[in-house]
Amino acid sequence: MLVDSNSYIGHWPFLQLKYNNFPALSERMEEFGTDMSVVSSLNGIFYKNTQFANEELYEEIRSKKAYQNRFIPFAVINPIYNGWKGDFETSIGRFGMKGIRLHPIYHGYELSNPACIELVKMARDRGVPVSLSLRMVDSRPSSWLDVEKEWRLADVMPIIREVPDAKYLIVNLANNVALNEEDTELIKKSNVLMDTSGRNVLDLGGLLKTYGREKFCFGTHSPVLDYATGLLRIESLRPDEADEDTKEMIRSGNLKRFLGI
């Protein structure tokens, strides 16, 4: 079984995307054998009122039974925009979304912002994961209107230190993944999953040794990144790096456990 932890629908203002709607994303999933996908809305990055994006996502998934069975929606919440607590309650409580996506770089706040910490604690109390991406696109060829800031893995550690008992899904490990000894231990003992889509997953076998095989899951970052590379990092693992049980955990087992499905 294969479950993608990191996909999107919606638009990117500076680049034409394909496979960015449910029929097209379904086609890619079918081709590569992906059974289910965690999905959030790219529009939620750019709408000032992110809740419109969550409503669009909800309505689209609700429109077809097949979509309800194969997509796992995450709500985009902006904790420095008024009404966010209501947005959280509606998305998680009424819409039944399974997690939240935060975009601090685009929405203009730090992970240390008290409202962000409050939101993460709310997610923890409801048992839903908080997903963070080290970057959305490569800032080098992106637009003059796009943000330039990207994160290293170390940059997300402050929120994990602040709320260590929340669930975190860290995706697109595009930049430095090195952590000091203390943070490495924190990741190991916390409920953290990291996906395989990012360019700095250079040596997945080594990362499995460092953090443990229960810490990684398949992710595509599609339709922003190509669909195959995140899966290739798993499927090309050698037997001495990962046995079949470990591969199955990365393909779906770890994420299923994490999401409680």
Partner 1 sequence: MFKINRRTFVGGTAASAAGILLGNTLMGSGREEESRVEAEAAKKIDLMAEVKKYRKIDSHAHFGLAGATNASNISYADRLGIDKLVISKPMAPGSKGLPEEFRACNDAIIGAVKAHPDRFLGQLTLNPTYKKESMEEIKRCVDLGFTGMKLYNHVKINSPLFYPIIEKFIDLKLIILMHSPIGKARVKYNAREPKNISIPEDFVEIAKRYPEAMFQFAHTAGGVDWEDACKALQHSPNVYVDLSGSNNIANMVEFALRYIGEDRLLFGCDNSFYQGVGHIISAKMTDAQRRKIFFDNYNNILRKAGKHVG
Site string for partner 1, 170-209 (x = CB under 8 A): -----------------------------x-x--------
Residue 164 preceded by cis peptide, ω within 30: no
CB of 194 to partner 1, least distance (A): 16
6 binding partner 1? (CB under 8 A)? no
Which secondary-structure segment (H or E) carries 210?
helix 204-211
Which of 83, 93 has the CB closer to partner 1?
Answer: 93
Nearer CB in complex with partner 1: 149/188: 149
Find residue 10's DSSP bridge partners: none
**What is the DSSP track for 140-207?**
TTS-TTS------GGGGHHHHHHSTTSEEEEE---S-----HHHHHHHHHSEEEEES-STT---HHHH
Is 209 in contact with 242 (CB distance < 8 Å)? Answer: no
- 31 near partner 1, rule: CB under 8 A: yes
Asked if 245 is part of the footprint of partner 1 (rule: CB under 8 A), the reply reads no
Least distance to partner 1 from the beta carbon of 198, Å?
Answer: 10
- The Cα 203–Cα 200 span in angstroms is 8
Phi-psi bin for 8: left (phi > 0), alpha (psi -120 to 50), beta? beta
The tokens for 14 are 């500076």
Token pair recorded at residue 176: 């430095």
- The region of 27-35, 48-56, 115-123, 209-217 touching partner 1 under the rule CB under 8 A is 27-35
- Nearer CB in complex with partner 1: 147/179: 147
What is the CB neighbour count within 10 angstroms for residue 12? Answer: 20
Going residue by residue from 44 to 83, which x/- string records binding to partner 1, judged by CB under 8 A?
A: -----------------x---xx-xxx-xx----------
Find the binding residues for partner 1 in span 102-161 (CB under 8 A): 137-138, 140-144, 146, 148
Q: Is 218 helix (H, G, I), strand (E, B) or coil?
A: coil
Rule CB under 8 A: say whether 32 interacts with partner 1: yes
Query: Residue 94 in contact with residue 73, Cβ under 8 Å?
Result: no
Compare residues 57 and 159 and give the one whose CB is closer to partner 1: 57
Stretch that binds partner 1, among 96-104, 108-116, 161-169, 207-215 (CB under 8 A): 96-104
Task: Check: CB of residue 246 under 8 Å from CB of residue 218.
Answer: no
Q: Which residues bind partner 1 (CB under 8 A)?
A: 1, 14-19, 23-24, 26-27, 29-33, 35-36, 61, 65-66, 68-70, 72-73, 94-98, 137-138, 140-144, 146, 148, 199, 201, 222-233, 235-236, 238, 256, 261
